[in-house]
Amino acid sequence: MRRQKRRGLSLLEVMLSVAILGGSMVAIGELIRVGTLSAGHARDLTQAQLLCESTMTQVLAGAMELNDVTNQTFDPTIVPGAEGWNYSIEIGQTELEGVVNVRVTVQQDRVNRPVVFSLTAWMIDPEVEFAEPEEDATTSGGTSGAGTSGTGS
């Protein structure tokens, strides 16, 4: 007896290929979900960093008062797109006289996966006044310079 050539796939082969396809679709779906969550977290962290840098710049430039602030909401008329974000400012002393430690923390009003970003900077305490240096008698009269001038021939 001659064996006939088999045409097509057996039921077992079809079921195995469908199972492999289903498993790979589940894995790809999970990768898409994790990627979407990570992209949202990165977006929120970038927003927090920008808001924190903006607030720190305002404090260092003197546009905001140098006071401790806790969970203050951003004014949407001044900072558009900052709805749901709070900031805190902590002022601390350093070992150096006349220098304060400023820490700005920005956080999101979320229960699940809150995003928090902090920056720390040192700045001269605006309440401290430094004495003007006294002029020396040797440097106050006359001029000194290192430059020379001349004509070439």
Over residues 86-131, the pLDDT tens digits come to 999 999 999 988 899 999 999 987 777 789 999 999 999 888 776 6
Answer yes or no: are the C-beta atoms of 102 and 121 closer than 8 Å.
yes
Phi-psi region of 113 (alpha: psi -120 to 50; beta: other; left: phi over 0): left
- DSSP-assigned beta bridge partners for residue 93: 100
Sign of CA dihedral 138, 139, 142, 146: positive
Helix (H) / strand (E) containing 48: helix 11-61
Region 137-146: mean pLDDT is: 48
Pick the closest to residue 100 from 121, 83, 85 (CA basis).
Answer: 121
| Tokens of residue 66, six digits | 């140098």
Query: Residue 151, SS3?
Result: coil
Which distant-in-sequence residues (6+ apart) come within 8 Å of 153 by Cβ? none
**For the chain, percent of residues with pLDDT exceeding 90:** 52
| Tokens of residue 77, six digits | 């008329």
What integer pLDDT is reported at residue 136 of this predicted model? Answer: 63
Query: Residue 137, SS3?
Result: helix
Query: Residue 121, SS3?
Result: strand
> Lowest-pLDDT range, 54-63, 75-84, 143-152?
143-152
| Tokens of residue 92, six digits | 């601390």
Backbone angles phi, psi at 50, to 5 degrees: -65, -45
**Both ends of the chain: CA-CA distance in Å?**
117
Domain positions in the chain: 13-132
Region 56-80: mean pLDDT is: 87
